[in-house]
């Protein structure tokens, strides 16, 4: 009986740890340099937690940047969410396209300058698939 209680408690603690980790955003840091063509940046991939609340949250204010979630394969620009155009400072939520966003699926944050005529700038913050 004691061993069973210990196993149940360990399982509960593990589930709580997994749940709390998925609530944290991962970070991104993009460096955009002209020209516009070729300026697309990608974050490392991260796993969706199945809550269907993806967002991007810039730290501070930056130039207007357009973000979208994409598939994790190298160089992929296959979008899995709505676009978030002209993000400068506010936390902005995405909507997943049909069939995407489930628990355990991996995505990456993709960003590019919203204006084709831009000066070099950095954009960084948190995001959650």
Both tokens of residue 40? 């697309």
Per-residue pLDDT tens digits for 44-60: 999 999 999 999 999 99
Task: Kindly tell me if the per-residue pLDDT of 3 is higher than 90.
Answer: no
Distance CA 14, CA 24 (A): 16
In the structure encoding, which two tokens stand for residue 86, read together?
A: 């002209």
Look at residue 22 and tell me whether its pLDDT is greater than 50: no
Q: What is the Cα–Cα distance from 107 to 81, expressed in whole angstroms?
A: 10
Asked whether 45 and 110 are in contact (CB, 8 A), the reply is no
The three-class DSSP label of residue 77 is: coil
Q: Report pLDDT digits (tens) over 101-110.
A: 989 999 999 9
Structural class in CATH, domain 26-128: mainly beta
Q: Please tell me the pTM assigned to this model.
A: 0.80
Q: Which of 56, 72, 63 is nearest to 108 (CA)?
A: 72
Q: Would you kindly state where each structural domain of the chain is located, as residue ranges?
A: 26-128
Cα–Cα distance for residue pair 10/6, rounded to 1 Å: 6
């Amino acid at each position: 009986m004691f061993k069973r209680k210990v196993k149940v408690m360990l399982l509960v603690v593990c589930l709580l740890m997994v749940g709390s980790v998925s609530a944290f955003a991962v970070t991104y840091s993009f460096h955009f340099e002209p020209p516009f063509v070729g300026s697309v940046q990608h974050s490392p991939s991260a796993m969706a937690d199945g809550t269907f609340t993806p967002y991007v949250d810039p730290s501070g204010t930056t130039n207007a940047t357009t973000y979208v979630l994409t598939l994790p394969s190298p160089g992929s620009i296959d979008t899995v969410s709505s676009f978030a155009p002209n993000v400068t400072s506010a936390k902005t939520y995405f909507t997943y396209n049909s069939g995407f966003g489930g628990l355990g699926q991996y995505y990456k944050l993709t960003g590019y300058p919203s204006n084709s005529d831009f000066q070099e700038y950095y954009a960084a913050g948190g995001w959650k698939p």
